[in-house]
Structure 1
Amino acid sequence: MTKTPYSRAGALLSVLLFTLASLTLIVTPASAKPIAESPTSISPLLNGQEVPSIQVKDLQGKAVDLQQMLQGKPSVLFFYRGGWCPFCNAQMGQLQAIEKDLLKMGFQLIGISPDAPQELRASMTKNDLNYTLVSDVNLNAMRAFGLAYFTSQSISDRYMAKMKLKNKLWKNAAGDERLVLPVPAVYITDKTGLVHFQYINPNYKVRAEPKLILTAASLINS
């Protein structure tokens, strides 16, 4: 993949964040945060914070605790917009390609999106995935990580119609029903659920390079 100025800048920022993580004091886990009005006004979970106890759904629609899923094993979590998003599908394929390397280092790979369980199953088949996908239809994880934001009215209408999405619409402060999506992000935690690395970019077309993820994982595991 050809690196854009955005991806190079994002990589440098992420490496800096990773370096600073070792100097960051452990702080109290964040509770559910308000849904942001735009992707540039989110308040994401920070390095040095712990993933809180939040409910998501597995492929069968059963509620599972994300915090418990992370206990005892270092993890790479990635938030994506949905299986309908071509940039997300490309990212899922890239992560599938490095999953074996992550597994060798002892990491598990978990994808989180607002897709319903049945849509996750379709993504698993479409992208020939082996790693775990969980459903965040109630926005529990997206809000706890501070990544949820309201799309504009025009984007909400266009996505719902063109992509034939079945996502629930949520009311913003003005009472308008909007589509809520996560800003795409990658988090890497240790076996206690403590965040050591994050890559977050409001530009949904720019994702973390697989090499960057592997490098960060290897440093955390060293």
Structure 2
Amino acid sequence: MKLIYKLLTAGLAVLFTFTAQATKPIAEQAAMVSPLLNGQQIPAVMATTVEGKQINLQDVLAGKKTILFFYRGGWCPFCNTQMGQLKKISGRLQGMGFQLIGISTDAPEGLKASIKERDLDYTLLSDFNSKVSQSFGLAFFASQKTTERYVSKMNLGNPLQKNSQGQERLVLPAPAVYVFDAKGLVQFNYVNPNFRVRLDEELLLKAAELVR
């Protein structure tokens, strides 16, 4: 744990302020995403609340330390496990002055279902058209096989989008966790194209402790 703390300290000490692109291209596959990095600013992009209201993500984070995590949807068992793990530490994060926000491609109705089923005490936002994940550089085209399986068997409502070959594919976010300071700067990020591997909650707590 001491080694992890030192690594986090070293990573957080070397920060530079970058201007983030408003929109990044959708990657052809998960391994090709180009995520927002440490020291970059929260993009100006619109998300949707559970009530269906459009809000600017910069306004949501303005003046508040924030843990922002991207997950694929309430239909994903790995995402549901992660949401449960974050619920266990949400009180500790709030005690450190953080708000906790999850973003997925679920429609507002799907978010409401997740909140009710898991009795979540933190905010969920909809990125139905993948504009938020795209602005963070996390959006990628799922394979044809994955698109067919998820859209037909799981009855997803996410609109399909055309890739560079003109093929209609499902767009998903690479699972990610971001820690923002009160100025809207990324202080820590974890992005893993392998959707089965998620950030350990204890490591997230250590990263949060370093943000002043």
The question of whether the paired residues in 2 share the 8 Å contact of 1:22 and 1:196 is answered with no
Number of aligned residue pairs: 211
What TM-score results when the alignment is normalised by the length of structure 1? 0.91
What TM-score results when the alignment is normalised by the length of structure 2? 0.95
- Pairing 1:148–2:161 present: no
After TM superposition, the structure 1 stretch with the greater mean CA deviation from structure 2, 108-117 or 15-24, is: 15-24
Gaps of 5+ in 2: none
Sort the Cα spacing of 1:177 and 1:48 in 2 relative to 1 into closer, same or farther, 3 A: same
The question of whether the paired residues in 1 share the 8 Å contact of 2:40 and 2:185 is answered with yes
1:214 aligned partner:
205
Give the partner amino acid of 1:199. Answer: Y
Give the partner amino acid of 2:16. Answer: L
1:56 aligned partner:
47
Partner SS state of residue 18, structure 2: coil
Give the partner amino acid of 2:22. Answer: S
- Pairing 1:109–2:100 present: yes
**Residues 129-175 of structure 1, C-alpha deviations (whole Å, 9 max, x = no match):** 01000001121210110000000001100111222211110111111
1:168 aligned partner:
159
Identity across the alignment (%): 52
Gaps of 5+ in 1: 1-10
The question of whether the paired residues in 2 share the 8 Å contact of 1:80 and 1:185 is answered with yes
Give the whole-Å Cα distance in 2 for the aligned partners of 1:35 and 1:153.
15
Give the whole-Å Cα distance in 2 for the aligned partners of 1:16 and 1:179.
36
The question of whether the paired residues in 1 share the 8 Å contact of 2:175 and 2:191 is answered with yes
Give the whole-Å Cα distance in 2 for the aligned partners of 1:18 and 1:166.
41
The question of whether the paired residues in 2 share the 8 Å contact of 1:30 and 1:45 is answered with no
Cα RMSD (Å) of the superposition? 1.7
**Residues 46-90 of structure 1, C-alpha deviations (whole Å, 9 max, x = no match):** 100000111000011100011111111100000000000000000
